[in-house]
Structure 1
Amino acid sequence: MEFFDFALMTAAFVTFFVVIDVPGVAPIFAGLTDGASQKHRTKMAIKSVAIATLVLVGFAYGGEWLLGALHISLDAFRAAGGVLLFLIALDMIFEKRTKRREERAEKLSGEDHEHEDISVFPMAIPMIAGPGAIASIMLFMSQSDSAGAQISVLIGLGANLLICLLVFLMIGPVMKLMGDTIAAMITRILGVILAALAAQFIFDGIRGALLGG
C-alpha cells in the first residue's frame, strides 16, 4: 500500500490525459506527416513520444531547479512555445509545407524522401510535453513525499504516453483512406486550430506573467 498509491495514479492519469489531449494531438500528427511514408511516420511517432518522455521525466526531477537557475518562468516558456507553434500553423494554412515537399520530390527520385523531422518540434514540444504537462509533472512530483507516490505519478504519465504512441502508430492507415482533397482540407483546418492553440499559449503566458507579477 505504501509503495503504490492507486488514487494518486488515477489523479495523475486523468490530469495528463486532459493536459496532453491525445485525441486532439493525434490529428495534428497526421496533418504534419501528411504525404510521408509509413516508415517515416513510425519513426516520428516513436521518436516524438520518446523525446517527450525524456523531457517530462527530466522536468519531474530537475525542472524547478533548471528554470529557477535560468530565471525562466513557465509563463515565458508557454508564450515562446505559442510563437513557434504559430509559425508552424502559418505553414499549414498556406500550404508552404506542401510546396516544399513537391520541390523535394522533383530533386529526389525513387527512394524514400527525407521528410521534415517534426518529432522534437512541434510534436514532442510543445504538443505532448507542453507547458501544461511540464507544470503538472512538476506539481505532482513536488507533492509526492515518497518513492511510492512518485512511481504512482510516473505510471499515470507513462500510461498516457503509451496511449499516445499507439494512436500515432495506427493513424497512418486511417489517413491513407482519405483523398488528396480531403487531406488538404484537413491540413488547413488543423492549421487554423493550431493557430488558435498557439494564440491561447501566448495569451496564457502573458496573463500568467502579469498576474504573477
Structure 2
Amino acid sequence: MLIVVLLGMVAGFLALRLYAVLGKRTGHEQPLPRAAEERVGMPPAPRTIDVQPEPRDIAQRYVEPAAENGLRAIVAASPTFDVAEFLDGAKSAYRMILEAFWKGDRETLEWLTEAEVQAAFGDAIAARETAGHTLDNRLVSIEKAVIADANVAAGIARITVRFDADIAAVTRDAEGQVVAGSLTDAVETHDVWTFARALKSGDPNWKLSDTDEA
C-alpha cells in the first residue's frame, strides 16, 4: 500500500526563508515524473524494520534512539504502521514535493502539504515568478533518510525525518540564461522534515508539517 507523505512548513516569516533555502538548494532541479499510483500514497517498502527488540540491528540503521519511544506510541495507536514502509514513502514524498516546488506545481503541493506549507510554498513560487526566474533542478540521489524524532499528541502522530541528498541546481532568467547554480556539480543538502497524520482519520496520508535544515 502506498502512503503519501505530505509536507507541512512553518508559515509567515518562514515563507521568505523557504524561498531562500529551497530556492538556493532545491531551486535548481528538474522535476522527475512519478507513476500515477504513487500519487495515491507513499509507496511501500519491505516490511523488514520494526522498533521491537527483535530486529534491533536493522532498526538502528534507520531510527535514532530519540525517536524509538515515539514510534512505539504510534505503533500502539496504529498497529498497521510500518517504519520501513513509512521511510520509503517519505523519500518518494521528498522527491515529489521538491519537484513540484521547482516546477511551480501548486496543485500537487496542495495535496502533498498542509495549509501553512501550501501558503509558504505558494509565496516562494510567486516571488520566483515575479523575478522571472525558473528552476532547472535535478535530485541526483537521496544518500540517507533516518527517523530523528517521533511523537503522538492529541491524536496527531508526527515523525521527523532527516534527509541527506545531492542536488544539481540551476536558476535561469526569463531569457533562459543561467543566473545561479550548476547542473554538473551536485550540492550536498541536509533537510529535516516533519510529517503529520491524524491517527483516527480514515485518510492514511501523511502531510508535511514543518521543514528545517540539519
**Relative contact order, CA 8 A, sep 6+: which one is greater?**
1
TM surpasses 0.5: no
Mark the structure with the bigger radius of gyration. Answer: 1
TM-score after normalising by structure 2: 0.27
Larger helix share, 1 or 2: 1
TM-score after normalising by structure 1: 0.27
Larger strand share, 1 or 2: 2
